[in-house]
């Protein structure tokens, strides 16, 4: 274990995240983990980590960090105006600083460090769960003065390893591909039409649990359902008619009709939306969704060859 970076300013919300704790959902604990799994994996692979290692998830305004020891880092995801090139391995010497000038596009940037960020492990994951105050940096967001430690690093540094621009997600595309959900057929024709044609706005109360979507109001089917386990990407429709898109820290079960599910390849784009951003849903098929997923995986695999 090496003390690698010190936090000078934490930013609005910077947390330690890995790929979450999917087995904890049977106890009602949200799976958690990085919101944008593509950016998270890419950052790790660029610095030579396993793709599941923990990174720093930086929200809207990034942190200001200073290197305690020399290290290799990569910043991916949303463009929050970092002081180093994005999607590229960068060598820091002790005393070097990294800062973020402000949001240009997207909502969440990921900082991977060679060796992987270390945090408290809870139920099999280092991901920070703020509600339960467990995991990551003692269950809380980073604060000034925190020291980020990293694990053993085996990979020799690949100076300048980078993910080319054509292989990165198009975060400017706010059309989220989605597949009709199990209860889609219970929507009336008008509401089905609205779902695919209306523009929705991410409500200010949105967070890592989920996004409330303003804009078009859909008519919810009247019948209540017995609760069932749900997943990130699910679009629920409560009786008020305002859909909710579930994200990484979602409640594990719900009884609202599920009218659509955002595809795995569109979830990185969803993760880069901030309150006030507009989005649309675009109906797609499982086949098209899987080929988009395969393209993203091929992009990540290009980093390991």
Partner 1 sequence: MPRRRSTIRSPRVRIQPLGDTAVLAELGSRLDTALNTRAIALAAALKRRRDVRQAVAGHASVTVSFDPDQITHDALAAAIRRLATKRPPMEEPGRLHRIPVVYDGPDLDEAAERLGLTRQRIIDLHGRPIYRAFLVGFVPGWAYLGPLPDELVLARRATPRTQVPAGSVAIAGQQTGIYPLDSPGGWNLIGRTTVKLFLPDSDPPSLFRAGDRVKFFAIEA
Q: How far is the CB of 158 from partner 1 (least distance, A)?
A: 27
Enclosing H/E stretch for 7 = strand 2-9
Per CB under 8 A, the segment of 40-48, 99-107, 149-157, 226-234 that binds partner 1 is 226-234
Q: Is 226 in the site for partner 1 (CB under 8 A)?
A: yes
**Contact by Cβ (8 Å): 100, 82:** yes
Choices 60-68, 113-121, 237-245, 289-297 (CB under 8 A): range interacting with partner 1? 289-297
Should residue 293 be labelled a site residue for partner 1 when binding is judged by CB under 8 A?
yes
The CB-of-201 to partner 1 minimum distance in angstroms stands at: 23
Helix, strand, coil percentages (3-state) for the chain, rounded to 5, are 20, 35, 50
66 binds partner 1 (CB under 8 A): no
Residue from 143, 159, 231, 298 that binds partner 1 (CB under 8 A)? 231
Contact flag: residue 295 with partner 1 (CB under 8 A): no
Q: Is 127 exposed, middle or buried (0-12, 13-18, 19+ CB in 10 A)?
A: buried
Nearest Cα residue to 177 out of 256, 286, 299: 286
Half-sphere exposure for 187 (CA within 13 Å, toward CB): 26
Sign of the CA dihedral running 225, 227, 228, 229: positive
By the 8 A CB rule, do 112 and 49 touch? Answer: yes
Least distance from partner 1 to the Cβ atom of residue 189, Å: 19
Per CB under 8 A, 26 contacts partner 1: yes
Cα 249-252-253 angle, rounded to 5 deg? 140
| CB nearer to partner 1: pick between 12 and 131 | 131
Q: Does 300 bind partner 1 (CB under 8 A)?
A: no
Nearest of 262, 261, 263, 260 to residue 292 by alpha carbon: 263
109-148 mask for partner 1 (x: CB under 8 A)? Answer: -------------xx-------xx-x--------------
When the beta carbons of 51 and 134 are compared against partner 1, the nearer one is: 134
Structural tokens at position 210? 């989920």
One residue of 95, 188, 204, 229 binding partner 1 per CB under 8 A: 229
For residues 82 and 221, which CB has a smaller minimum distance to partner 1 in the complex? 221
Looking at 5, 29, 86, 126, which residue binds partner 1 (CB under 8 A)? 29
Q: How many CB atoms lie within 10 A of CB 185?
A: 11
CA atoms of 143 and 57, how far apart (whole Å): 13
By the 10 Å C-beta count (0-12 exposed, 13-18 middle, 19+ buried), 223 is classed as exposed
The reply on whether position 206 binds partner 1 by CB under 8 A is: no
User: Which chain residues interact with partner 1 by CB under 8 A?
Assistant: 22-30, 122-123, 131-132, 134, 178-182, 224-231, 233-234, 251-254, 258, 261-265, 286, 289-290, 293
């Amino acid at each position: 274990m090496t003390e690698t970076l010190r936090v000078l300013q934490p930013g609005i919300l910077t947390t330690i995240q890995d790929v979450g704790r999917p087995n904890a959902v049977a106890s009602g604990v949200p799976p958690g983990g990085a919101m944008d799994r593509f950016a998270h994996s890419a950052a790790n692979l660029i610095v030579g980590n396993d793709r599941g290692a923990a990174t720093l998830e930086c929200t809207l305004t990034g942190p200001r960090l200073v290197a305690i020891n020399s290290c290799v880092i990569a910043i991916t995801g949303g463009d929050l105006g970092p002081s180093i090139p994005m999607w590229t391995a960068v060598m820091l010497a002790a005393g070097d600083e990294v800062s973020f000038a402000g949001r240009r596009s997207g909502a969440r940037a990921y900082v991977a460090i060679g060796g992987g960020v270390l945090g408290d492990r809870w139920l099999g994951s280092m991901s920070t769960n703020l509600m339960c105050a467990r995991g990551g940096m003692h269950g809380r967001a980073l604060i000034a003065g925190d020291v980020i430690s990293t694990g053993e690093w085996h990979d020799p540094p690949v100076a300048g390893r980078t993910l080319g621009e054509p292989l990165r997600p198009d975060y400017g595309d706010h059309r989220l591909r989605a597949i009709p959900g199990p209860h889609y057929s219970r929507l009336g024709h008008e509401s089905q039409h609205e779902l695919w044609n209306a523009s929705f706005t991410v409500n200010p109360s949105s967070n890592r649990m989920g996004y409330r979507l303003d804009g078009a109001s859909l008519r919810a089917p009247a019948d209540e359902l017995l609760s069932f386990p749900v997943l990130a990407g699910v679009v629920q429709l409560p009786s008020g008619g305002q859909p909710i898109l579930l994200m990484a820290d979602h409640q594990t079960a719900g009884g609202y009709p599920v009218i659509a599910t955002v595809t795995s390849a569109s979830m990185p784009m969803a993760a880069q939306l901030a309150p006030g951003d507009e989005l649309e849903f675009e109906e797609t098929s499982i086949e098209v969704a899987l080929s988009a997923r395969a393209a993203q995986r091929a992009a990540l695999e290009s980093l390991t060859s």
